[in-house]
Copies of this chain bind each other. A is one copy, B any other.
């Protein structure tokens, strides 16, 4: 692919930036966005940074009817010295292309898209918050825009990147959550779209989540769609268990999202010499480990929360209280280490971090 130039159209007005302590996840967006169009035979073209604005889309456009879309989520962090850095961004763009493949969306140039994201953040550098635990959430997404209500891959797409300053996920320290094991609804199944980051997986998950929320649970633990026996994910996160000193997580099987934080947790544990394995884990075996007093810790992993400890799992009316409902020592150590690397407090032996050339004054 020949490298495109990125046209930049600056916003004439600037929004007021929310205060660091009043940031809510995904509610406020910066002054600009990146947009790129796809059509035949041009391919991806018209790469532009433009003022953040509503999209004008024909009501017959495929995105409104047949759900052909993919997205990613990653973050930029402000270090103490005022630098801005990205965490494993190339992994997100690799996954975006894997999602594209499953959804019949044309491949993007990962390197170019990463460059565009960096340029966008550089323009929006004053939007990267500096208070502890805050960051700039980056949401690249691709939507099918052809004005045609036939079921077929779209001929036209838009790739858009929007940025949202987000607050500390844990304002009052990490708080373990109560999780219900879901035995009726399923998120997806092998042969379906579970491995792709596409809207339908999330739409499908809403109902189960709504039901358990009324019962006082924070999220559901998803079981596999075939036998409803093997553990897959928790809410929209990957899931880990520490059982008798060993950390286990469900192995990727086609219906589990290959999380970037998931892979970081595995690498970190290997680096520390903590036994870790990816394997099929049945809910029955997990319950047995609990009864045997061997279920030591449980946590979800994802970009938004990094690590979300599980204090209680409820399966068919049976409660498993994990680590007295408190955050486990290893969970905490993983959280502190990954966030420490993200914010530049700790060394990065894994080369997970890349800087953005966009120094701006540190604000306090």
Residues of A in contact with B (beta carbons under 8 Å apart): 25-27, 29, 33, 52-60, 63-69, 71, 102-104, 137, 139, 141, 143, 147-153, 160, 162, 164, 184-193, 198-207, 209-210, 225-228, 235-236
Contact = CB atoms under 8 A, between A and B. Distances in A.
Contacts of A153: 206, 210
Contacts of A162: 59-60, 149
A66 B60 CA distance: 19
B26 A148 contact: yes
Contact of A198 (B57, B60, B67, B190): B67
A58 B139 CA distance: 14
A149 B28 CA distance: 10
Nearest to A139: B149
Nearest to A198: B203
Dominant SS among interface residues on chain A = loop
Contacts of A164: 60, 149
B103 A192 contact: no
Contact of A66 (B68, B150, B190, B203): B203
B192 A225 contact: yes
28 contacts: A25-B150, A26-B149, A52-B59, A54-B56, A55-B58, A59-B162, A60-B162, A65-B202, A66-B199, A67-B198, A67-B199, A67-B200, A67-B201, A67-B202, A67-B203, A68-B203, A102-B207, A103-B206, A104-B210, A151-B202, A151-B235, A152-B209, A184-B191, A186-B190, A188-B192, A189-B189, A199-B199, A200-B203
Contact of A189 (B54, B150, B192, B235): B192
B226 A69 contact: no
Question: Which among A67, A141, A143 has the highest number of chain B CB atoms within 10 Å?
Answer: A67
Contact of A193 (B56, B190, B204): B204
A-B complex: 6 closest residue pairs judged by Cβ atoms: A200-B200, A67-B199, A26-B149, A186-B191, A67-B203, A66-B202
Contacts of A198: 67, 200, 203
Contacts of A225: 189-192, 225-226
Question: Which among A25, A71, A189, A191 has the highest number of chain B CB atoms within 10 Å?
Answer: A191
Nearest to A236: B151
A158 to B, nearest CB: 9
Contacts of A149: 25-26, 137, 139, 162, 164
A59 B71 contact: no
Contact of A204 (B26, B54, B150, B200): B200
A251 to B, nearest CB: 19
A53 to B, nearest CB: 8
Nearest to A27: B148
Contact of A64 (B65, B69, B206): B69
A145 to B, nearest CB: 10
